Chain A
Amino acid sequence: MRKIRKIEEKFFKIISQLATYSLVAILGYIIFVIFKNGFSSLSWEMVSEIPSGGYYYGGDGGVLNAIIGSLYIALGATLIAIIIGVPAALFINSHLMQRKRSQNTIRYILDALWGIPSIVYGAFGFTLMIYLGLSASLLAGILTVSFLITPIVIRSFDDVLSTIPRGLYEASFSLGSTRTETAVKVLLKQGFSGFITAVLLAFGRGIGDAASVLFTAGYTDNLPGNLDEPAATLPLAIFFQLGSPIPEVRQRAYAAAAILTLIILIISLSSRFVSRKYQKKALKF
């Protein structure tokens, strides 16, 4: 009996350890495959030029159109998400401070919104676009992506705000500040690291998402100059070029994927860095 228990203990410790390390291995493997394939075909031309005439048959050019388009869409959508999301998160934690029930209900709905897949947002964005008489364009793409990432901004900012001690609000109230002033002066200041991480998270999601811009942003070989022009995006550039029968074009998809992965890696590592740095600062208070 004792022996079986010992073996069981050892066995599960080892396989759970294996599972953990296998995750590290999977991540390493993914990044290795992406970078190995990508960097061999990555060139300065890839990131500095738009596709030339024969690009999709293996001709000259790069994916600058997609890089710029993605940046525009992600930046624009993040801006809208901040405009709507930040006040909403502040509201939950200032005006609704004493109403636990409403707070919980709102968080519940937001969490559910976070769970809606991007293809549904894409379909909705498409419907809205038709309804408003727009065509596939930078604007429609920005709007759709902003739907997708606003719940993310609110919930991750709210997560940080909700850890701010109550005493701080009460001190602010007792100094004669209104709720709105408290929200802006105390919460925004104290939760600044949360704000940054929320924005970075949302930006990362926005730049990497394909299904939402598939219907709405369109695709073009030119740099988007106006809100009503279509815009290429990196995820779609990867997706379309991967489907090509020509090996050179597929090579470019790998390169584009390496670029996108690099951007995402930088974003997630810097958001880690920011949150950790601010956490240390907050502890000193």
Chain B
Amino acid sequence: MIITLNDTIMKEEKIQLDFAEKLDFETKNKQIPENPAVTISNLNVWASKHHILKNVELKIPKNKITVLLGPSGCGKTTLLKSLNRLTDLDKELYVSGNIFINDEEILHAKKDIPEIRRKMGLLSQKPYPLPVSIYKNMTYGFKLKGIRDKKLINYNVELRLKEVGLWEEVKDRLHSSPDKLSIGQQQRLCLARGLTVKPHIILADEPTSALDPTSSKIIEDLFKKMKNQYTIIVVTHVLRQAHRLADNVVFMSDGEIFEQGSPNKLFKNPETQELKKYLVDGN
């Protein structure tokens, strides 16, 4: 009797071990880096009858820049927005599957959605400064949290603005409207604003598409510098930008992921027809 029980336990352990080995093998085979910060499994999104995302499986590595690449309308923005549940806003969207952020399921979590969103800073295609002063934009996160400690707040405002290289440019006009800043400056302000709530992940949806080349370069350089502290996910349809930025490229088309891996591998040896075609058209 005792022996049988022991046997069962042994068996279970063995099964678990097998499973782990298999998983390990798969991981090695697909060359997905370890320590995924975000794990997406079987994600499907429909907009009424239109199937926008189809069975998306994806692991996004920590402290790397992952670029979601693909033609417009392929669902990359939807993928990005399902990460911080902005898909909730659109009542027409139906979302199924699982998304884990550091092993915490967020897609079906009933609890504090604002708290989930705080973990991810969002940078949109166009800068959207709130209709208040630069300073109040920067303190918005603290206001929401109910933090009133002036010293702490001011320290953070300065810190974050320095982080994006905007401090010297705006320190004398903190209390004026951000409308007077250039688009590039506004975009950096929005980035700095997002950083004040200490996100782990930065979601950037074609963050440079409205910017001039100089401002774009500043943003790109910032991303490269920031990846030590944040996991960065950038949506783009520009091949060159993917080249310049990515540690890890995910190529999507028509709601499906076709290929992923290092930019060198993907751009030099594309495996699927879709990516080959995109590379040819893109250049």
Q: Which residues of A contact B (CB under 8 A)?
A: 1-2, 5
A2 CA to B146 CA in the complex, in Å? 9
* B28–chain A nearest beta-carbon distance, Å: 43
Q: Which residues of B contact A (CB under 8 A)?
A: 112, 114, 145-146
Q: Which residue of B lies closest to A4 (CB)?
A: B146
A5 CA to B113 CA in the complex, in Å? 12
A2 surroundings in chain B (CB, below 8 A): 112
* A8–chain B nearest beta-carbon distance, Å: 12
Q: Which residue of A lies closest to B147 (CB)?
A: A1
B146 surroundings in chain A (CB, below 8 A): 1
Overall SS of chain A's interface? helix
A1 surroundings in chain B (CB, below 8 A): 145-146
Q: Which residue of A lies closest to B144 (CB)?
A: A5
A1 CA to B147 CA in the complex, in Å? 10
* A254–chain B nearest beta-carbon distance, Å: 42
Q: Could you show 4 A-B contacts with beta carbons less than 8 Å apart?
A: A1-B145, A1-B146, A2-B112, A5-B114
A5 surroundings in chain B (CB, below 8 A): 114
The list of the 4 closest CB pairs from A to B, nearest first, reads A1-B146, A2-B112, A1-B145, A5-B114
Q: Which residue of A lies closest to B146 (CB)?
A: A1
A1 CA to B142 CA in the complex, in Å? 12
A5 CA to B145 CA in the complex, in Å? 10
B112 surroundings in chain A (CB, below 8 A): 2
* A12–chain B nearest beta-carbon distance, Å: 15
Q: Which residue of B lies closest to A1 (CB)?
A: B146
A5 CA to B112 CA in the complex, in Å? 11
Q: Which residue of B lies closest to A6 (CB)?
A: B112
A1 CA to B114 CA in the complex, in Å? 14
Q: Which residue of B lies closest to A9 (CB)?
A: B114
A1 CA to B145 CA in the complex, in Å? 8
* A98–chain B nearest beta-carbon distance, Å: 27
Q: Which residue of A lies closest to B112 (CB)?
A: A2
A2 CA to B115 CA in the complex, in Å? 10
A2 CA to B145 CA in the complex, in Å? 8
A2 CA to B112 CA in the complex, in Å? 9
A5 CA to B115 CA in the complex, in Å? 12
A1 CA to B146 CA in the complex, in Å? 7
* A10–chain B nearest beta-carbon distance, Å: 13
A141 CA to B219 CA in the complex, in Å? 67
A2 CA to B114 CA in the complex, in Å? 10
A50 CA to B146 CA in the complex, in Å? 72
Q: Which residue of A lies closest to B145 (CB)?
A: A1
* B92–chain A nearest beta-carbon distance, Å: 17
A76 CA to B145 CA in the complex, in Å? 63
* A271–chain B nearest beta-carbon distance, Å: 27
A52 CA to B255 CA in the complex, in Å? 75
* A5–chain B nearest beta-carbon distance, Å: 8
* B204–chain A nearest beta-carbon distance, Å: 27
* B181–chain A nearest beta-carbon distance, Å: 27
Q: Which residue of B lies closest to A2 (CB)?
A: B112
* A184–chain B nearest beta-carbon distance, Å: 38
* A6–chain B nearest beta-carbon distance, Å: 8
* B178–chain A nearest beta-carbon distance, Å: 26
* B6–chain A nearest beta-carbon distance, Å: 49
A196 CA to B180 CA in the complex, in Å? 45
B114 surroundings in chain A (CB, below 8 A): 5
* B88–chain A nearest beta-carbon distance, Å: 13
A2 CA to B111 CA in the complex, in Å? 12
A1 CA to B112 CA in the complex, in Å? 13
A5 CA to B144 CA in the complex, in Å? 9
* B50–chain A nearest beta-carbon distance, Å: 16
* A67–chain B nearest beta-carbon distance, Å: 45
A1 CA to B148 CA in the complex, in Å? 13
A91 CA to B225 CA in the complex, in Å? 58
* A20–chain B nearest beta-carbon distance, Å: 15
